[in-house]
Amino acid sequence: MFLFLLWLLLSLALLAVLSFLFLRQWLISRKNKLHSPSENGINVGIFHPYCNAGGGGERVLWCAVRALQDKYPNSRVVIYTGDIDASPNSILQKAKNVFNIAIDSDSVKFVFLKQRHWIEAKNYPHFTLLGQSIGSMVLGLEALCKFPPDIYIDTMGYAFTYPLFRYLAQSKVGCYVHYPVISTDMLKRVQQRQMAHNNKKYVARNPFLTWTKLAYYRLFSKMYKWVGCCAETIMVNSSWTENHILQLWDVPFKTHRVYPPCEVSHLKNLQHTEKSDEFIILSVGQFRPEKDHPLQLQAIYELRTLLAQDESLWNQIKLVIVGSCRNEDDYDRLKNMQDLTKHLSLENNVQFSVNVPYEDLLKLYQSAHIGIHTMWNEHFGIGIVESMAAGLIMVAHRSGGPLLDIVETSEGSQNGFLATDAVEYAENILNIIINNSEMAGIRSAARASVERFSEQEFEKNFLRAVSTLFTNL
């Protein structure tokens, strides 16, 4: 029996090795046949399964594509996407409408992936991180088989795809990390048994489940480190993300801080058309759970309490929540926010605007007074930067990118406000409203501070980081 099991294991191991070698040889042969038709052409594959979503991550994608087209005109950019219900022309048109970024369609190829459901969080109610990571390998393998590239760049954080492209297709691998899949902050929250959107109440209350989840997170961290080290160049979008990636992956010589592109030049020139009878608080961000839109509604609820003696001023205040929805889960969250608005009796003071065109967003920037952002440990905060560039007085969460990179609250150099809970948000908003005429200095400081986050700065630093991937090809 022992000899039989040993023979079986050796046979399976041999079969796995032979399958790996056969698949690698087939992919390398296919890669050589798919070279860009132009002379010395290089195929640059960019893995972005939600390229049609319209969020900050998509601005990174399209700015990166434009930069690559300008710097390497003989190359072909291949975008791996799961947006099978959209055509290439409609995707590029949306990039133009939403971000004002024009892409040369002749040197872009879309590879449509049919297995995107493997990375949907809703399919993994338990062990979500592991499930999505394994799912990303399935999706990555589909992408690899359909079009093996010379260079592979992941712009959505699916690190478990890196070894597939590096070892199977021998592609050069780079990545742009918006936030680590797991972080020491997540470990601390579980260890301290704090309830959060990724740490359910029944887990936080149970010592055994907490211990099990900690063990799972620690094991996953080791796996995450191994796959992350397969990247040859690693771009991070903020100081917060950089600190965590260095802790998790320990790759100081591969890591480059590349702030995400923010549309600041045009926004800085916007003229405000604020209405005297309306005070608009603007929120811009996707309808994802980590964005914590309920905290914004709670803040407005607390603001109403603070203005209990001034009903006329309260009636002038409106929170406008602008966001994009990627899928059914996002629309469900939007519906929940609308229901919560009614539950708090805020429907006359809250407006939801979904998937708005860029021109309409500009009009909202012109008419708004205050910007609000409530995500805890936001990795960066493109919406915060753009709101500041447009002249809004920003109230953001005292954590992550807003705290470390964007918002300065020191006297003499203040360019915004920071808060942690609904009451503090409400107090800051009320302070801005009451002292609105004295906010010109903060507004000017905010607009002056955002130039380092421009699209031009991003493209320069992005091209510097990926230049190593183009050597010896």
Query: Do residues 234 and 245 touch, judged by C-beta distance below 8 A?
Result: yes
Query: Do residues 294 and 338 touch, judged by C-beta distance below 8 A?
Result: no
- Candidates 141, 139, 149, 162; CA nearest to 83 is 139
Q: Across the strands, what pairs with 454?
A: 262
Structure tokens at 362: 């500009």
What pLDDT sits at residue 460? 96
* The domain over range 28-261+456-470 is classified in CATH as 3.40.50.2000: yes
CA dihedral 154, 51, 353, 444 (to 10 degrees): 50
Query: Do residues 30 and 148 touch, judged by C-beta distance below 8 A?
Result: yes
CA atoms of 92 and 58, how far apart (whole Å): 11
Residue 62 host element (H or E): helix 56-71
Report the chain's terminal Cα–Cα distance, integer Å. 51
What pLDDT sits at residue 276? 64
CA atoms of 328 and 336, how far apart (whole Å): 12
What pLDDT sits at residue 39? 46
Residue 371 CB coordination number (10 Å)? 27
For tokens 């499930």, the residue is 131
What pLDDT sits at residue 359? 85
| φ, ψ (nearest 5 deg) of residue 219 | -65, -45
CA atoms of 38 and 75, how far apart (whole Å): 8
Which spans in 105-238 are helix H?
128-146, 162-163, 184-191, 201-204, 207-228
3-state SS class at 6: helix
Query: Which pTM was predicted?
Result: 0.80
Structure tokens at 18: 């032979």
CA atoms of 358 and 234, how far apart (whole Å): 30
Residues of the chain with CATH 3.40.50.2000: 28-261+456-470, 264-453
What pLDDT sits at residue 199? 60
What pLDDT sits at residue 197? 60
From residue 143, alpha-carbon distances to 18, 49, 67, 79, 168 in Å are: 22, 10, 23, 10, 12
CA atoms of 42 and 34, how far apart (whole Å): 9
CATH of domain 264-453: 3.40.50.2000
What pLDDT sits at residue 25? 75
Under-70 pLDDT residues of the chain: 1-4, 6, 35-40, 191-204, 274-276
What pLDDT sits at residue 2? 66
- pLDDT for 401-433, tens place per residue? 999 999 999 888 899 999 999 999 999 999 999
E strand map for 64-197: 76-81, 108-112, 151-154, 172-177
